[in-house]
Amino acid sequence: MQNNDNKNIILTGFMGTGKTTVGKLLAKKLGRQFIDTDHLIEERQGMTIPEIFAELGEAAFRQMEADIARELGEREGLIISTGGRLMLDPANVAALSDKGRVFCLVATPQEILSRLKNDPDNRRPLLDVPNPSEQIVELLQARKRGYQRFLKLATDDRQPSDVTDSLLEFIQRNPKHFAIDNPAQPYEFIVGNGILPFTRQLAGADGMLVVITDSVVGKLYAQSCGSVDHVITIPTGGQQKTLATVQSIYDQLLEIGFDRFGTIIALGGSVVGDVSGFVAATFMRGVNLVQCPTSLLAMADTSIGGKNSLDLPQGKNLIGNFKQPTVVLADVATLSTLPPEEMLSGMAEVIKHGLLADTDLLEKIEGSTWSLQAGSFYSSPVEIQTLVAQAIQVKISFVQKDPFDLGIRSNLNLGHTFAHAIEKVSENSVRHGEAVAMGLVAAADLSMRLGHCSGQLKDRIDQVVMKVGLPNRIPAEFSPEAILEAMSLDKKRAAKSLRLVLPVQVGQVFIADDVLGSEILDTLYAMSGN
């Protein structure tokens, strides 16, 4: 993985959040050059910003900002503090974030006001209005959407030196940042080792902060998120994805006075992620959501894309909605306690992502020495971080192309029509990832039978699944006929025919629209075994 060390660090945010002071301190600690874009423009023009505005006009100033963004974006190793509006222009964001990490410093309007009042250097007319506090609230609201996409760093009532220290500590963990451009809510996916303790500071919250977790993960990690207002714990296990669980969470939120300005932190695997996503989407018509996935499946797959679902007595995943998080913080250190069989279950989705788009990822898994049989699945945090980063990039590319799951995102269902049927027939005694592994092999077998892929690809998929210790055969106790029947009830079934995603080669799938039951049965019989 590329080390962050020499990447530019860009600090943005509203005036009075301390980006220049923190930037200077950070530059000193890291022995790097500091650049304040406003000062650089003033220096080059030999004029102050008010003079530039008065004599050359705002458009000229914005053009100067754009030129500087492009210029600095080409360089490395800088600490850059930007003018308050520079990062509201997507072209500037693209120029600077390509080789840099962006942090948006945030503070409450009261803190901003008191800092600006105490700043002898403050040359802005902002305070020369009858009600400066109201003016700040209004401006912050107007900027909110523009700053939405960036990783927030709360400055609270801390001294700039404290803010600098925590930023430095965070950067030194070398997390990887990925931007997700969603029309409803652009956000970042951060994967790192030991980043959970930064959750509170990175949540971007200005209201109450509530963690929703399960009984296993809560005991291990709820305390690590930093001080929060409340922790809601649901029992562990897939049976929790119900309206009854959601109702009990609503009750607790109301009891503590949680309102629409609050933020929910989903700390746990995909079950916690689904339940929390549903709650965050619906409570008071929607509150902020931060995803802190702690299982490999959640990190490499379900914490991205915003889909959540709940079960009804009539079937699994029958209701749900889209709720994008404001940020996803995936701390791979938490995987050290994930049971090996859960780790393995997540590997099935990682293999799927490798097959869908990333030859290198697939080869890495094929060449790795990790397997459940070897005792533990936990490799070094760096290796796992790379694996999660590569897998999530595949998911990101699909959800960005198809945010509402109307087209190409369905490629991510590779192996899943088989998997859901196997889970159903097994009455969920087969884990999701195990079922996906069987489903991937089944999809390859069917694809080969229908002439869409080579026997070589089918063998390759079979081998990689087996190599990591996932099942490549369907237990004989689940009859092919029962699985076929469960498949045709799959909710993703098109009106008249069974729609299946079939592999063609690594990076390419074929959507088969009318696969015959008899063809599927041939595959299911061939796969029925140990």
**Could you list the residues that contact ligand NAD (CB under 6 A)?**
214, 216-217, 220, 236, 238, 268-272, 274, 294-295, 297-298, 301-302, 334-335, 337-338, 342, 345, 349, 432
* Closer by beta carbon to ligand NAD, 205 or else 217: 217
State the minimum distance, in angstroms, from the CB of residue 348 to ligand NAD: 9
Is the CB of residue 183 less than 8 Å from the CB of residue 125? no
State the minimum distance, in angstroms, from the CB of residue 14 to ligand NAD: 36
Rounded-to-10 torsion of CA 420, 386, 78, 108: 40
DSSP assignment of 13-25: ESTTS-HHHHHHH
* Closer by beta carbon to ligand NAD, 214 or else 490: 214
State the minimum distance, in angstroms, from the CB of residue 267 to ligand NAD: 9
For residue 402, how many other CB atoms are within 10 A of its CB? Answer: 16
Percentages helix, strand, coil for the chain, rounded to the nearest 5?
A: 55, 20, 30
Give backbone dihedrals phi and psi of 410, rounded to 5 degrees, phi first. -65, -15
State the minimum distance, in angstroms, from the CB of residue 329 to ligand NAD: 13
State the minimum distance, in angstroms, from the CB of residue 185 to ligand NAD: 19
Find the angle CA(270)-CA(473)-CA(236) to the nearest 5 degrees. Answer: 25
Pairing of strands 176-180, 100-106: unpaired
* Closer by beta carbon to ligand NAD, 166 or else 242: 242
DSSP assignment of 98-125: TTEEEEEEE--HHHHHHHHHH-TT---G
State the minimum distance, in angstroms, from the CB of residue 338 to ligand NAD: 4
> Structure tokens of 433?
């990832």
* Closer by beta carbon to ligand NAD, 271 or else 356: 271
* Closer by beta carbon to ligand NAD, 84 or else 268: 268
* Closer by beta carbon to ligand NAD, 36 or else 331: 331
Question: Max Cα separation, the chain?
Answer: 82
Separation CA 150–CA 160 (nearest Å): 20
* Closer by beta carbon to ligand NAD, 80 or else 275: 275
Separation CA 67–CA 92 (nearest Å): 9
Torsion-angle region of residue 224: left (phi > 0), alpha (psi -120 to 50) or beta?
alpha
* Closer by beta carbon to ligand NAD, 338 or else 448: 338
Q: Which amino acid is at 79?
A: I
3-class secondary-structure state, position 89: coil
* Closer by beta carbon to ligand NAD, 236 or else 368: 236
State the minimum distance, in angstroms, from the CB of residue 75 to ligand NAD: 39
State the minimum distance, in angstroms, from the CB of residue 375 to ligand NAD: 17
State the minimum distance, in angstroms, from the CB of residue 170 to ligand NAD: 20
Q: Which of 69, 107, 101 is nearest to 86 (CA)?
A: 69
Give residue number: closest CB to ligand NAD: 269
Q: Which of 21, 473, 259, 351 is nearest to 343 (CA)?
A: 351
> Structure tokens of 441?
């092999």
